[in-house]
Amino acid sequence: MTAVITACPAFSQAYETAAGTKTVQQVRALGTAAEADVIAARRLFHRFPETSGNEENTQQLLSKQLSDLGIEHTCLENHGIIATIRGTAPGAYGSDGTPAHRVALRADMDALPVTEDTGAAFASENPGVMHACGHDAHMAMMLGAVRILRDVADQLVGEVRIIFQPAEEISIGALSMIEAGALEGVDAIYGAHIWSEVPAGTVSCAPGQRMANTDWFHIEIEGVSAHGSMPHKGVDAVVVGAEMVMALQVLVSRDVSPFEPVVVTVGEFHGGEARNVMAGHATLTGTVRTWSEQMRAEVPDRLERIVSRSAHALGAKATFAFESGNAGLANDPACAEVARQAVLDTLGAEGVADYRGTLSGEDFSEYLRLVPGVFCFVGTRNPAVGAEHPQHSCHYTIDESVLVKGSMVAAQWACRMLAGK
């Protein structure tokens, strides 16, 4: 524990057991009282999902809820929102109006281009768009945390900034919020994701790396089109693409150590324009997930070599483009320990989940490049209520009983970080 205190001396009180005693009973009581409202908010957001960059109505819905709660906030042009909860405990602000400390809580807002097939009474009313990743839950949990923190402001020695972020799914939302000043003066940040691989009622907040580097690739294949009955007269770009799809997996199965996590997924394959014409052009796009920075640096050349050799062997030409996405997400040990204590405070020892992490990616990592923080996985897996499908599935649903638990953990983390000595 000493190493953690040394790493973050300004918050040395935050992970002392006693730091949680001042607010934990209030946080639990306020969370319990807010549960119905948190669930109702989640269902409202679920009915009206909007894809990345189009969150205008979502912003309006959030703004109304914040206004109804009496929370100071600013709506941004990128559809995000920055809200403020000002602590009123002695020493919360200096004579110049600067907070003693400022911590941030973040929730993302955008949905996915997925057609919902859950049969829920509050299913998406926007055709072809669904909150299939749980961002509706994130917004609702954050509103629950806001309710709690508003009512324990007299215990906060400093300020809580609430960040509602758009466009997480296309990896530009965090950067746009940073550009808008969301991290100015912030000492530490908390984020959470509802997670289908973690048991409902538990929360994982381990230190160190928790999510993967997320990068993208694009392949253009040039063959020679020909009549479908005369394949020997051309070079079939679809066949070349199919060969590449399989060959790319050699990187995972034979070119990289089994102890080095790597995922290569071709998500799109487009080729051909008519059923009796052998395709002269095809396009592949996909994603690469890596755990280590060394492997991330090596992957582009390795993939390009496989693509080039596959095309050459079949008489085609190919161009390969690699686009860097978000870096891997790693939790600061000090902030993670405060989160663990917050889980113990609010959910007890049985609420601490043991989860290894995931090769999914998150642009929350952009915040962590600039300030220390923690990203938690709020478990929602519960087959008894049908909450067993993975994120991004058209059948995805959650155990709503976990929502207020997420609210309480987030609020208690902030309370600990801003606890007086």
pLDDT in tens, 127-184: 999 999 999 999 999 999 999 999 999 999 999 999 999 999 999 999 999 999 999 9
Judge if 51 and 90 occupy the same domain.
Answer: yes
* 54 pLDDT above the threshold of 60: yes
Contact 356/418 with Cβ under 8 angstroms? no
Which carries the bigger pLDDT value, residue 366 or residue 12?
Answer: 366
How large a percentage of the chain has pLDDT more than 90? Answer: 94
Judge if 224 and 305 occupy the same domain.
Answer: yes
Average pLDDT score over residue span 65-83: 98
What pLDDT score does 21 carry? 77
Which carries the bigger pLDDT value, residue 287 or residue 13?
Answer: 287
CA atoms within 13 A on the CB side of 141: 35
**Maximum Cα–Cα distance for the chain, whole Å?**
84
Average pLDDT score over residue span 330-343: 96
> What is the radius of gyration, based on Cα positions, of the chain?
24
Q: What DSSP string runs through 195-245?
A: EEEEETT-EE--SEEEE-EEEEEEEEEE-B-EETT-GGGSB-HHHHHHHHH
Give CA–CA dist 168/170, Å, rounded.
5
Tokens representing residue 75 in the block:
């709506």
Closest by CA position to 11, among listed 387, 327, 334: 334
Confidence of residue 8 (pLDDT cuts 50, 70, 90): low
Judge if 290 and 170 occupy the same domain.
Answer: no
Single residue among 272, 291, 324 that ends a domain in this structure:
324
Judge if 311 and 372 occupy the same domain.
Answer: no
- How do residues 184-233 score in pLDDT, each as one tens digit? 999 999 999 999 999 999 999 999 999 999 999 999 999 999 999 999 99
* 4 pLDDT above the threshold of 90: no
Domain-embedded: residue 78:
yes
- The number of folded domains in the chain is 2
Residues 6 or more apart whose CB falls under 8 angstroms from that of 11 comprise: 101, 187, 188, 334, 338, 417
Judge if 199 and 252 occupy the same domain.
Answer: no
- How do residues 244-259 score in pLDDT, each as one tens digit? 999 999 999 999 999 9
Judge if 259 and 189 occupy the same domain.
Answer: no
Count CB-CB contacts under 10 A for residue 14. Answer: 28
* 3 pLDDT above the threshold of 50: no
Give CA–CA dist 136/200, Å, rounded.
17
Single residue among 300, 324, 348 that ends a domain in this structure:
324
Judge if 48 and 191 occupy the same domain.
Answer: yes
Domain that holds residue 51: 9-211+329-417
Read off φ and ψ for residue 21, nearest 5 degrees: -70, -25
215, 277, 283, 284, 329 from 317: Cα distances, Å? 23, 19, 12, 13, 36
* 1 pLDDT above the threshold of 70: no
Going 113 to 119 to 121 to 127, the CA torsion angle's sign is positive
Judge if 111 and 235 occupy the same domain.
Answer: no
Judge if 255 and 363 occupy the same domain.
Answer: no
The overall average pLDDT reported for the chain is 95
Average pLDDT score over residue span 27-39: 98
Single residue among 274, 307, 324 that ends a domain in this structure:
324
What pLDDT score does 22 carry? 82
How large a percentage of the chain has pLDDT more than 70? Answer: 95
- How do residues 230-245 score in pLDDT, each as one tens digit? 999 999 999 999 999 9
Confidence of residue 6 (pLDDT cuts 50, 70, 90): very low
Give CA–CA dist 418/420, Å, rounded.
6
Confidence of residue 25 (pLDDT cuts 50, 70, 90): very high
Judge if 18 and 126 occupy the same domain.
Answer: yes
